[in-house]
Structures are given as C-alpha cells and as structure tokens.
Structure 1
C-alpha cells in the first residue's frame, strides 16, 4: 500500500497534523519509540501562555485558544512576570512587544500576588489568560481523532532512510519499509536528522535541554498562585495539586538529540534561584526531569514544502511552544499539505522553509 502522507514523529506535532488532515488523505504516522509522546510532548511544563515564545509565536497560540477551550484542555491559571528594578527596561520592552496584539497585560504589584516574595522583586506584569493545559489528554485526543479518520500508527519504527523515485518515497524503518507520496518531517529534535536521512539539506534545527523539578515547599505553595516567570528568563514556577510546585531554571543547554536527563547542577541552580525570589524553603525535590526543545536558526517554527526536494514537508522547529500552538499549527500545515486555503489568521510565509535560502 502507498500512503498519501507519511509523518515521521507522533508527538504533538505529528499527531495533531494527522488529526487535522482527517479522512482527506491516507496517513501513516511513524514513531520510533514504544509509544508516542515520549520525548518533548511527554515532558512539557504544561502551561498555555500567549506571550511564551514572543510575538512570532503569539498568533499561533492565540489562534489555538478556541479549539483548546472547546475541548476542555485549558484550566485557569494566570501568569505573573516579575522583575527587580534593574529589569525595568525588560518589563517595558515586554509590554511594548505585545502592545498591538490581543494579549491582555497589566502592570501589578507582585507582592500583592505572591506571599513571601522578597522585597527586591518590585516589578510585575499580569497575564490573566495564561492557563494550565492538559497535555496528555490533548495528545491522546489527537491520536484518537487521527485513528478514527483512518490514520495508521506504526510504533517501534525508528526512521532509517527515505529515497524518492517515481513521485513517491520509499521509507526504511525499524518496523519495515513503507511507501508514501509525501514525507512529513515532524521529528522534533531529530528534525535535521530525518532530513539528512531523506537526502534533504538540513535547516539548522538545534536541540536544547530544559530542566523541570517538582518541589515540596515550606510553606506549601498557596492556593491561587499563578504561574510566575522572571521577565529576564532565569526561572519560572507554577503550582501543582497538593501544594507542590513545578520549577525550571529556564535552561537551554545545547545537546544532541537524545533521551534527555536532568543535570544535578541545573536542579541546584533552579532551587537557588527560587529561594532568592521567595522566603519559602525547598523542603524536598520529589521529581526531576528534562525534555528537549528544538529551534530553527531564527527560532520560528517551520511549516511547508521544501523548495528543493519535491514531496518533502517540514513540520519542525516548534521550540517549547508546539503544544500550546498545536491546533492552529496543525490547521496551517494541513492546509499547506493539501493545497487548501489557510483557515487560521496567520501569514504562512512567516513560517515557510524557503526563508532560509539553503
């Protein structure tokens, strides 16, 4: 059987794209792990923020809100961006970046929102639209929608190589050989690895490690605490059930694509930064993990057909924003794949692979 579209990678990017295509094409999802979502998708910090990723990501995030709310995947959280007096210019720049967007931002007194905040943290900006996002349920829903539409999922099928002849790809995987007319690179941190194995020039996608720890604090994290982020990008933390916190040092350590694991120095750095923000004590580290974020050179995602290799489609470089942008990004990518009108209010050229001029 020859599939219309073979998607390499069944994380949130590949799964949401397969779901968006629906029954309009015969789709094969190729996943190297035992189950989809093992790497970046399964290790997300699980919040939805319209400012996360900056103005280049915001249109996709905002355009995804209605679908995420309709599916019940978002729950209220709110975000507070904080700084010290030396961060005043960063606060001003942040507000200016989003001044002409639908994102609602407001200057606030952070001490009125975060109990125990140390006195030097005097600057705050509230982002009330920020929400929890149920990543596991969202990913599972996309996979279920894709399956109902007829998509086939091949797991334990690491991608080895692909060659194109007679307008179709022959795809070699650990689970066998498949054929498809279009090959989609939704390989996340392995995006350039997939491209090279298909004879396509890489874009320059780089993988970075991000660390998260679950803390039990003394006192426990108060009810109603929002997501709290440093305006200069040195930490963020958010409440979890049972008075716990998820905390990250907002690290981006360059790495080869791999099964990421946290480094002790990054865990220690996260806790040290946290204890310089509030007067709470980190009583215990209950969990620690790391995930991979992958970026193109300009840190914008890449959606579209390769300009040089027919039938090769990029769906890559989503950074840490692939989950919160999944509905709109998948709709955009599906439209480009199927030659349909783009149904989301974004400019496809902003994310096209041709912008790199390889």
Structure 2
C-alpha cells in the first residue's frame, strides 16, 4: 500500500481520490458509514465571500470543479444561490471591508429589503450581495467522490478505528481496533476533530486543534419564503435560508467541544431565533428539528496541509474550520501535489 488516508468525510475522500490517480490508496473510517459527522451535518453551501482570505482562495479555485466534476454524478451537485451579508449590530464597516476584498456588491437598506423580502423595513442600513453562491448537494458529492475513488482502485474500510501505529523499515504499520493490520509508506491524517487524537498514535506533534460545536435547526414559518436568499449577519451571529418550506438557521456558535457527537445548544437556538426575528418578519417561534456538528480549527484559523515535523511519512490534512466542503476540490489537489513532491 502506498497511502493510508484516515477519515471518510468529504476532505478525506477528496484527497484519497486525488492520490488514487497514481497511488495505491486505502481509506480508513472509524464509523460504520462514511461522512457521519461534520460532512453530513453542514448547511450545504459554496460561498466565495465566506471565510478568511486563504479559505476564500481555495473556495474560488473549487468553483468550476463543483459545477462540472471530472467524474460521473447522479445529478448536479451545485445549483445557483445568492447570499446577502447584513450589516447588523453596528458592523457596517465589516460589510464595506467584505465588498472591498471579494466579488460581493454593496447595497443599501432598501435594496437589501428588495433582495430579501422578509427583511424588516429599516432594520438594515447596508449589506453585501453575493450572487455567485451555490447550493450544494453535499451527500451527492460525497457519494460521487466515493464511487470515483473506488473506480481508481481505491479501497474503503469502515468500522476501522486506528488503535496503534509504528514506523517499521520506512513504512507505517497501522493496527485497527478490530485487529486488522495495514502497511503503507504514507499516512494522511484527515480525521477532522480527532486530528490530534490520531496524531498522538503516530508520535506526531500536537497541533492544538480546536473542535467547535456548530448548531443548526429548522423552524416553520407562515411567511412566504419565495425569493429568500442565504442571509447572514456579518457579525457571525446567525444565518438562515429557505429549505423544504421551512427556515434552516444557525446561531453560528463556535463553542469548544471534545471530539464526538455534539448535541444542539438550546440557548444558542433561542438567541438565534431572537436575532433573526429582530431583523426579519419570519416570526420564528418553534423548532421542527435541530442538530449539531463540529468545525475544527487550527490555531491560526487556516487549513493545515503539510508533513509532520516529527513523524516521518505522516501528513496533516486537517483544520478546515467548517469550510471543508466548499474548498474540498482545490484543497485536495493542493495537498496531493505536496505529498507527491
């Protein structure tokens, strides 16, 4: 085996697919199925104006790939969507900065109300309008990557949590909790929130990754959602979009959380409902369903794609900070190129 990739989310599958073009690759997933955690719990968007500069660069570079993937798909994984960034809580300067740094267009309050019909009149003075955004079929993309990886000869092992690892004669010997043993020249750590946990098994440096909870929920509304774009507070206090006749919303919380299966934060949900109702006429009152996932940050907030400083043949591919889906294609190509050099 040339490469073992640890982690079966969209990031792990994307880099496994890229490497399988000319390497023998095995993907290990600790759970019974792939994409169980963060990948399966996202808001499913591509927004070029979202995230810090490094993230926006990889996001932009992923656009054409998502529109027309180089492998067979069951249907389009990306469809047009617009995004409106609201200057809430006195953050108008941040709106102007976003417009200066991205392709988003500055609009005044009246235009924002026209673009988002549920905005409360007079609630917003300025906003940024990004009409290049995309709505993503995340699981459709994930399944397509899985099929394409296997078509390139890649192998997937589920229920394969790493128990131990050792370096022997220039290879990694990886043993799973079920007792299976695999050998490979290179190991790619794409385990998300478990990144430091996995790294410790290989004697790698500790990156001090920070898994942070992100809550999402759906609320019913009696207000028409026709023409409502993805709408977010520029202060990261909330976002919402129409989904299935209801409102998909998040308080954009980022509470530190141990690697695992987080529960939605009811207090954050209540805060988000209040914030959304303050600037819209949606009149959210109840929650139809709620869930949570983990976004994992490196200390500098940028994705980590590099060889470990201590463990030979160990490559870090972590810290996507919740932007992993929208920048998956370009980031995977970048990391695969580094591994090949």
Report the TM-score when normalising by structure 1: 0.89
SS class of match (2:197): helix
- Partner in structure 1 of residue 73 of structure 2: none
- The separation in 1 between residues aligned to 2:310 and 2:202, in whole angstroms, is 12
* Cα offset, 1:121, TM superposition: 1.6
* Cα offset, 1:272, TM superposition: 1.4
Work out which of the residue numbers 228, 232, 251 in structure 2 matches 1:249: 251
- Partner in structure 1 of residue 107 of structure 2: 107
- Partner in structure 2 of residue 299 of structure 1: 301
Q: Which runs of 4+ in 1 moved over 6 A?
A: none
Alignment of 1:78-117 (within 5 A): 78-84=82-88, 86-98=90-102, 103-108=103-108, 109-117=111-119
- The separation in 1 between residues aligned to 2:268 and 2:95, in whole angstroms, is 26
Partners of 2:160 and 2:176 within 8 A in 1? yes
- Partner in structure 2 of residue 128 of structure 1: 131
- The separation in 1 between residues aligned to 2:332 and 2:233, in whole angstroms, is 30
* Cα offset, 1:57, TM superposition: 0.6
* Cα offset, 1:318, TM superposition: 0.5
Question: What does the per-residue CA deviation read over 1:212-268, in whole Å, with 9 as the maximum and x for residues that have no partner?
Answer: 001111214x22211001011100011113x21110011101111111111211221
* Cα offset, 1:8, TM superposition: 0.6
- Partner in structure 2 of residue 67 of structure 1: 65
* Cα offset, 1:323, TM superposition: 0.4
Over the aligned positions, Cα root-mean-square deviation in angstroms equals 1.4
- Partner in structure 1 of residue 188 of structure 2: 184
- The separation in 1 between residues aligned to 2:45 and 2:233, in whole angstroms, is 15
- Partner in structure 2 of residue 138 of structure 1: 141
Work out which of the residue numbers 259, 274, 298 in structure 2 matches 1:272: 274
SS class of match (2:247): strand
* Cα offset, 1:104, TM superposition: 4.2
SS class of match (1:179): strand
Report the TM-score when normalising by structure 2: 0.94
- The separation in 2 between residues aligned to 1:224 and 1:179, in whole angstroms, is 53
- The separation in 2 between residues aligned to 1:126 and 1:272, in whole angstroms, is 23
- Partner in structure 1 of residue 288 of structure 2: 286
Structure 1 position 318 matched with structure 2 position 320: yes
Q: Flag structure 2 segments of 5+ consecutive residues without an equivalent.
A: 70-75
- The separation in 1 between residues aligned to 2:273 and 2:299, in whole angstroms, is 30
SS class of match (2:268): helix
SS class of match (2:288): strand
Question: What does the per-residue CA deviation read over 1:111-166, in whole Å, with 9 as the maximum and x for residues that have no partner?
Answer: 11222422222211100111101100001111111111111111011122211121
- The separation in 1 between residues aligned to 2:92 and 2:62, in whole angstroms, is 31
Sort the Cα spacing of 1:296 and 1:120 in 2 relative to 1 into closer, same or farther, 3 A. Answer: same
Partners of 1:22 and 1:145 within 8 A in 2? no
Partners of 1:111 and 1:122 within 8 A in 2? no
- Partner in structure 2 of residue 153 of structure 1: 156
Paired positions, count: 331
